[in-house]
Amino acid sequence: MAYLDHAATTPMLPEAIEAMTAHLSVVGNASSLHAAGRQARRTVEEARETLAEALGARPSEVVLTSGGTEADNLAVKGLFWSRRDADPARTRVLCSPVEHHAVLDAVHWLGEHEGATVEYLPVDGHGRVHPEALREAIARNPADVALATVMWANNEIGTVQPVRELADVAAEFQIPLHSDAVQAFGQLPVDFDASGLASMAVSGHKIGGPYGIGALLLGREYAPVPVLHGGGQERQVRSGTLDVPAAASFAVAARLAAQDQERFAREIGALRDELVTAVLAAVPDAILGGDPAPAGPDGIPGRLPANAHFIFPGCEGDSLLLLLDAQGIACSTGSACTAGVAQPSHVLLATGTDPELARGTLRFSLGHTTTHEDVKAVAKAIGPAVERARAAGLS
């Protein structure tokens, strides 16, 4: 199989599997005081230190979660509640319209159930939020803004956001800025301290670690209201028995992702460029999604090195996906979290894409197991698949 859906999940690294396996047979709750518990706690804290180093953070800023979705929900809901509780006038939430549903749905829920006024920031045709747009939104009434949230890099079209510049604008008005960095970590240089963010979400299974674990990087000055209540194991903002084997495995994957980021971006980026060239040669009227310039504006990477997103006019994305799947090529039409949803991508609609065109998309996402043979398989299969999908649409 040519697996080109690494943005949904990527295979675990052998080193991460080894680390997890080594701890699965070791008993001990990291909150217990006896020797077994202390040993489990030591494993978790060593993992936390490794994660902090890989992400440019202090260990005390790493809050372990069950994944990116929980991290996003804790940041968005928790920061909203804490800011509103301190000042009831702070009910406005500024959000990019191209967010992953972990953020988008959390923000929508706050509007439906918690009295939040949700304001979606404008994006350009590549799905990018410009700092002046954030400044304008905040400046209308800085006193009523609870928080802003803009993802680091888009999971569908791969566009990278100017996070540092956005964080600088938010800081001018003392507004916390959260960022979903689930897709960015491992592909881009990600440094929490240098970013200026208030909080940032990452996930284990996107970087070669296990499912079911992630982290919220949380500035020490912030104390979001918990979403989960219980033992308060993680800085009193997140409760739940710590998954020691997963934490150890996640830390190994994070260390390797950070160490290997430059090589990954260079080599996988070259394979991505090869794939883009091949697809456009086979289907000349295909439209490359996201920012077409990998270098991007002002030295900021324009798109993720592992992302290649296309619109195929006259096709249904699901039909194309199944045609390629029948030939052993795994890709997606967009986010795995919305697979099978019969509606155009909210990301593409936000960029101004025609709804009919937005239905005919495929996302090829590359990873550490991607080879030239995978790219060649796509190059061979995509033209006939598009022809069949278009013919089916006409019949």
Assign residue 380 the CATH number of its domain. Answer: 3.90.1150.10
Please indicate, yes or no, whether residues 266 and 198 belong to a single structural domain of this protein. Answer: no
Please indicate, yes or no, whether residues 111 and 58 belong to a single structural domain of this protein. Answer: yes
pLDDT of residue 292: 82
Structural domain containing residue 32 = 14-254
- Give the end of a domain, one of 254, 274, 305: 254
pTM metric for this prediction: 0.95
**Which H or E run includes 362?**
strand 361-365
Please indicate, yes or no, whether residues 239 and 333 belong to a single structural domain of this protein. Answer: no
Q: Which two tokens stand for residue 51?
A: 């994660």
pLDDT of residue 122: 97
pLDDT of residue 395: 55
- Give the end of a domain, one of 254, 271, 295: 254
Please indicate, yes or no, whether residues 166 and 246 belong to a single structural domain of this protein. Answer: yes
For residue 94, give the CATH number of its domain.
3.40.640.10
Q: What is the mean pLDDT of residues 348-370?
A: 96
Among all chains, which residue has been given the structure tokens 């991505």?
272
Number of domains in the chain: 2
State percent of the chain over pLDDT 70. 96
Please indicate, yes or no, whether residues 244 and 280 belong to a single structural domain of this protein. Answer: no
Please indicate, yes or no, whether residues 294 and 317 belong to a single structural domain of this protein. Answer: yes
Please indicate, yes or no, whether residues 138 and 160 belong to a single structural domain of this protein. Answer: yes
* Alpha-carbon gap, residue 120 to 40, rounded angstroms: 43
- Give the end of a domain, one of 200, 232, 254: 254
Asked if the model's pLDDT at residue 225 lies above 90, the reply is yes
Q: pLDDT (tens digit, 9 = 90+) per residue, 150-209? A: 999 999 999 999 999 999 999 999 999 999 999 999 999 999 999 999 999 999 999 999
Q: pLDDT (tens digit, 9 = 90+) per residue, 53-79? A: 999 999 999 999 999 999 999 999 999
Cα angle value 217/219/221 (rounded, 5°): 150
**Which H or E run includes 214?**
strand 214-218
Please indicate, yes or no, whether residues 216 and 324 belong to a single structural domain of this protein. Answer: no
Asked if the model's pLDDT at residue 100 lies above 60, the reply is yes
191 DSSP assignment: -
Reduced DSSP (H G I as helix, E B as strand, rest coil) percent helix, strand, coil of the chain, to 5: 45, 15, 40
- The mean pLDDT value of the chain amounts to 95
Please indicate, yes or no, whether residues 343 and 370 belong to a single structural domain of this protein. Answer: yes
Please indicate, yes or no, whether residues 200 and 284 belong to a single structural domain of this protein. Answer: no
Which range among 349-353, 360-364, 390-394 shows the weakest confidence by mean pLDDT? 390-394
Render the burial of 221-230: b for 16+ CB within 10 Å, e for the rest.
Answer: ebebbbbbee
Please indicate, yes or no, whether residues 46 and 154 belong to a single structural domain of this protein. Answer: yes
* Alpha-carbon gap, residue 325 to 318, rounded angstroms: 10
Just list the catalytic residues.
337
Helix (H, G, I), strand (E, B) or coil at 238: strand
Please indicate, yes or no, whether residues 182 and 288 belong to a single structural domain of this protein. Answer: no
Helix (H, G, I), strand (E, B) or coil at 348: helix
State percent of the chain over pLDDT 90. 93
Q: pLDDT (tens digit, 9 = 90+) per residue, 263-318? A: 999 999 999 999 999 999 999 999 999 998 766 656 667 899 999 999 999 999 99
Please say whether the beta carbons of 125 and 177 come within 8 A: no
